[in-house]
Amino acid sequence: MLDALIGRRLANREQGEQKIGWIAGVPAMGLDGLGSSSYGPEAALTILMPLGAASLAWIGWVIAPIVALLAVLYFSYRQTILAYPSNGGAYTVAKENLGPMASLLAAAALMIDYVLNVAVGISAGVGALTSSVPGLQPWTLELCLGILAVVAIANLRGTREAGWLFALPTYLFLLCFLGLIGWGLVQMVASGGHPHPVIAPPPLGHTMEAAGLWLLMHAFASGCTAMTGVEAVSNGVGAFKEPVVRNAHATLTVICVSLGLLLAGIAAVAHGYGLGAMDQTAAAYQSVLSQLAGAVAGRGVIYYVAMASLLAVLCLSANTSFVGFPRICRLVALDDYLPRGFAVADRRLVFSVGVIFLTVTAGGLLVAFGGITDHLIPLFAIGAFLTFTVSQVGMVAHWRQQQGRNAGRLAINALGAVTTFFALLVIGAAKFVEGAWIVVLAVPATIAILLLIRRYYDRLGRGMAATVPFALDDVDRPTVLVAYEERNRMTDRALQFAMTLSPDVLAVHLLRLSGPEQEEEIARLHDAFERDIAQPVAARGLTPPRLVQIPAPYREIEGPVLELVERIDEATPGRAVAILIPELALNHWWERLLHGRRAQRLRAALVAHAGPRLMIITSPWRRGLTP
């Protein structure tokens, strides 16, 4: 069943076939960045709404710095990819250039960012869907979880095979909206700056206030959410096939140029056609992109195709996180800051622990917020710009340590660091009350957990390190105890195994009855044991096993057995003790209902309370085999 759902297992040598080129790279890593072009400008225009018609005059001044920042980041990340062709995420850059604490800061910011991205991306997409088809509104949460499941399973199968699922909407989205924007610009030029919209956009509101610096900074901060996702390529360089750096650069270029064209184009067309943001809670609400498409091309086929591709891009933008999150978790786990399960590739060469962890966390967020996560959007940009800043500072430190003439490269990354840090401050200040304080709390909490995990592994490693030479104090054969309920083939084999290990074998029987019936039971078992087992063995000249019968006043076996082991330990110090527990191999799942877990409970109790010279032997018995 697992094969049907997720696919056949893959050998290590197939790993090369799972890597991708730039054409598949753009959808795999760019959905987040490209999709944020839909809510970035809209968020900025929403802040500018009180300016009324004057918002059109200012939108350019807000978008332009964002596009410039994007350009700076583009050139900075080109260099990062070049310097770190296996993985150039902020984590690695910080770890190698700034030290462990900075790397944990980057890791925490990235991980939180990825989880938020999944939750917000999916819910934004579903929210857009339910505003087109209001009948689906009551199923918001179910739709969100359903899409989450689809994306999770696609990722458990491995990126390569699910590639087409993401490529189609991505390239369709780019085609539609770059086309719409281009046609809109043509119309604007052709009509001398006053194009005639096919469907008139709603009128803008009255001017309530004048544009102030605080308002513009706030709009800039909201618009910066358009840049989340740009770091995905440098995080995931390890996914590309040869030539790795060229493919990664090509992917980054396509994503950044497209995003820049989209942002600038949206601003220009909005200015030209007079589009503004609308109140999301009012009736007849239309998003900015919806107004744009309607104004440029009307409500024809193109409109619905474009909106559908937008919906798909938003919903699937979660996929960028599903590619990035397991990889960052793997890097962090390899440094012992996360449980080791995150670093292991599963049967499909996917880091499935990371995928599942992300699914559960994002799913929890969706359930907690009922699939409506408008409150989380402000938190977005904080984490992303924190990551940008740490990455850029790390690259500056990198170029300083490198030999050779890197002044130009250093300057680019320095500019990036300064600008992103400034943007981070602006965003933090503007959004603090709205929700940024949550990130301010979550990042240190995550770092604390990572440090605790590392401390655990360090202690464990120190405790287990073989500091003393390999010593053999005692090679005496151990005393072997055999859990003996009654004579049957299973216990016969257990005793046979025991006798290959040592001449000192004790069969341990737990007395069930009490009172006078107990005397009878003891005598009967003793006689049967002597006759069936001890005498045949002695006749062969070997030391026969001895039967020990112990009372169990509380009806459980663990206590009496542990006591017996202690007494043997005191009597023969330095000698090992082995406890042999017969276990029936079960052929069907329903057999578990018909058998207790006494063997497992006894073993668990022995493991938990074992002295240093105790070993526990399982003697499995499979039915149908002829020994």
Distance CA 130, CA 151 (A): 19
Residue 525 binds to a second copy (criterion: CB under 8 A): no
Residue 516 binds to a second copy (criterion: CB under 8 A): no
Smallest CA-to-CA distance from 410 within 79, 73, 81, 93 is with: 79
- Binders in 459-488 for a second copy, by CB under 8 A: 460, 463-466, 469-472, 474-478, 487-488
Residue 589 binds to a second copy (criterion: CB under 8 A): no
Residue 627 binds to a second copy (criterion: CB under 8 A): yes
Half-sphere exposure of 231 (CA within 13 A, CB side): 33
Residue 593 binds to a second copy (criterion: CB under 8 A): yes
540 vs 567, which CB is nearer to a second copy? Answer: 540
Residue selected from 281, 401, 403, 500 as contacting a second copy according to rule CB under 8 A: 500
Residue selected from 110, 255, 533, 565 as contacting a second copy according to rule CB under 8 A: 533
Kindly report the three-state secondary structure assignment for every residue of 201-253.
Answer: CCCCCCCCCCCCHHHHHHHHHHHHHHHCCCCHHHHCHHHECCCHHHHHHHHHH
Residue 351 Cβ, how far from a second copy at the closest point, in Å? 12
Using CB under 8 A, count the residues that bind a second copy. 86
Choose the binding region for a second copy from 322-330, 383-391, 414-422, 610-618 (rule: CB under 8 A): 610-618
Spell out a b/e string for 2-34, using b for 16 or more CB atoms within 10 Å of the CB, else e: eeeebeeebeeeeeeebbbbbebbbbbbbbbbb
Residue 11 Cβ, how far from a second copy at the closest point, in Å? 5
Choose the binding region for a second copy from 51-59, 124-132, 397-405, 496-504 (rule: CB under 8 A): 496-504
Strands (E), 92-172: none
In the block, tokens 């005598």 appear at 523
Smallest CA-to-CA distance from 587 within 618, 622, 620 is with: 622
Residue 501 binds to a second copy (criterion: CB under 8 A): yes
Choose the binding region for a second copy from 187-195, 215-223, 374-382, 615-623 (rule: CB under 8 A): 615-623
Smallest CA-to-CA distance from 96 within 402, 416, 394 is with: 394
- Binders in 227-246 for a second copy, by CB under 8 A: none
> 391 Cβ partners below 8 Å, 6+ apart?
76, 80, 89, 90, 93, 94, 106, 231, 234
Residue 555 binds to a second copy (criterion: CB under 8 A): yes
Backbone angles phi and psi of 368, in degrees to 5: -60, -35
Query: x/- binding map, residues 293-332, to a second copy, per CB under 8 A?
Result: ----------------------------------------
407 vs 466, which CB is nearer to a second copy? Answer: 466
Query: x/- binding map, residues 344-383, to a second copy, per CB under 8 A?
Result: xxxx------------------------------------
> 103 Cβ partners below 8 Å, 6+ apart?
91, 92, 94, 95
404 vs 463, which CB is nearer to a second copy? Answer: 463
DSSP 8-state code for residue 494: H
Residue 171 binds to a second copy (criterion: CB under 8 A): no
Residue selected from 242, 279, 532, 563 as contacting a second copy according to rule CB under 8 A: 532
